[in-house]
Structure 1
Amino acid sequence: MSKRSLHPRSLAAQAMGKIDPLTKGVVTPIHIATTYIRDEDNAYSSGFVYGRPDNETIREAESVLAMLEEAKAGALLFGSGMAAATAVFQALSPGDHVVASKVMYWALRAWLLTEATRWGLIV
């Protein structure tokens, strides 16, 4: 049976059917935070650098979300709504114009009017 023939809830609950090679768990184990061993040349050949923002738990969740949404470019998880919102604006270039409502999350509004304008966005 192909993964796409399963119901999206089943795919999400089973992390797309990936089996943990070490424990044989059917759900990816949660890696909260860790650091990783560097190679002799000081590189990170494992593909992981620092465990809070970049670990297998995050990558698996992003993969499941991208699959459920049929995203072509993948998905990104953020530690907070503010982190996600500022990332959207930081994808713009200095000098770009932003039209934003006066009624919004206060901290984002404050960020737009101070940090984003200092960075070069026109709000």
Structure 2
Amino acid sequence: MRRHAASSLAVTAALGAALLAGCSSGAATGGGGPNPNDKRGQALACLTAKRLPARAVGEREIVVGEGAGAPRIRYFTTSGEAEALQFEGGAEGAEQIGNALLWVKRGSDKLLDEIESCLNEVP
């Protein structure tokens, strides 16, 4: 009976270790870069690498610059979700790039070209 309890404990410990090994914050990959499943994180990394004043806002947005005229990017789960918001009239002034909507606001052509370049680089 004692041998059975010891083997059950070993199996339980092994399963627990396997479960814990699979847990992560999802914030970064082992290589230290942005998580490949986090398109917003990848875009933000690209924008900041270009020395643009970009910052994450909330869970789904990036703002590039300061003030009400700063371009804003919102990520959606799918490109269909982004497109649906446009059809519903909730994305006036926004350009769809993949599963993101970019509100250009008062961004300069140069700034918008840099932003679009980063958004197009994200798979």
TM range (shorter): under 0.3
* TM-score, normalization by structure 1: 0.22
Larger Rg: 2
Identify the structure with the greater strand proportion.
2
* TM-score, normalization by structure 2: 0.22
Higher relative contact order (CA 8 A, sep 6+): 2
